Chains A and B, each alone.
Chain A
């Protein structure tokens, strides 16, 4: 899948540049993108290191497990097979909470840490596990209660009511998340059914 996407974006881009006579723009774009990627990684490295350090303390002292207990009912429903892995469940809860509160720069480090922990429980490391798919459904749904950046740019643009969109954004992300979860649920059921048939 990712191979196709990568080829489509790159190949279609280059082809269209050739057809429209803008081929000269491709080489500078490659260098600019490479440069931007490294700049981005440098920025990410700082917050990643900081939050990974803080989360390690939270993990060792048992706070992550306490947080998992708080969200136990929902987590048990979404992640039935890892209901005993309190550490991972705590991280999942923290990622979602950070997303809800619009703490953008902490969501990515939290999410990536959660992914590495989920991957340790993955029996098929090359392939996303059911739990990883469910977690990604939650992340891509992007449930959001306080979109901080959005409120900021709305008030900057002189809105009479910058927070007017809070309710609508929450509702929209909730619908998006539920859609993702439903799609995920069906896809997992189908793949399970296929595996089952393959074994017979």
Chain B
């Protein structure tokens, strides 16, 4: 089954590319010129994104290296000990909305430390797979559209994230018990 899924992932992009180019040619479109035109738009969008990415990288970078994130986790740790949630899981849950690569690193660490099929390993896997890098996605997406007023979207993203986190811990413990 894993082989099947990985095959799908491997095939999806090349096949999609073939279909789009083939169909474009069939429709008598100057695919090369249209590609260049579209690619230029893509470059322009990316250039406009630079300040937004810089701003979020800076804020998250300072927040992490200064120890502010660790401090919040330490404060919440005692609370979570009562609920029997491993502290490492909490770190992951807090880090994921801020930084995708850092979260991936922590998940890989946890899988090696506790074993991928242990309670912590499974829970960490589900959190890693089901959470989004909320701050980064929002600043990127709103930046691409030059939107200043994001309305309720940040609260919405964080609530979805919190619910997913709770569900992940629940499902993780059910699976690990079997």
Contacts and interface: CB of A to CB of B under 8 A. Distances in A.
Interface in A90-110: 101-103, 106, 108-109
Interface string B22-33: 011011010100
Interface string A1-44: 11001100110111011001010011001101110111011001
Contacts of A171: 167, 171
Contacts, number: 336
Given A29-B62, A154-B116, A165-B126, A133 B157 contact: no
A57 interface: yes
B5 A163 contact: yes
A16 B66 contact: yes
A60 B23 CA distance: 10
Interface in A39-96: 40-41, 44-45, 48-63
A10 to B, nearest CB: 5
Interface in B127-178: 128-132, 134-135, 137-142, 144-157, 159-161, 163-164, 167-168, 171-172, 175
Output the residue of B46, B54, B160, B167 with the most chain A CB within 10 A.
B160
B6 interface: yes
Interface SS majority for chain A: helix
Q: How large is the interface on B (under 10, 10 to 19, 20 to 34, 35 or more residues)?
A: 35 or more
Contacts of A141: 132, 160
A6 B59 contact: yes
23 contacts: A5-B135, A17-B67, A26-B66, A29-B61, A30-B58, A33-B62, A38-B50, A41-B46, A49-B39, A54-B17, A57-B21, A116-B145, A126-B149, A127-B149, A128-B150, A136-B153, A137-B160, A139-B137, A140-B153, A150-B128, A172-B171, A176-B161, A180-B156
Interface of A: 1-2, 5-6, 9-10, 12-14, 16-17, 20, 22, 25-26, 29-30, 32-34, 36-38, 40-41, 44-45, 48-63, 101-103, 106, 108-109, 111-113, 115-116, 118-119, 122, 125-128, 132-133, 136-137, 139-142, 144, 146-151, 153-166, 168-169, 171-173, 175-177, 179-180, 183-184, 187, 191
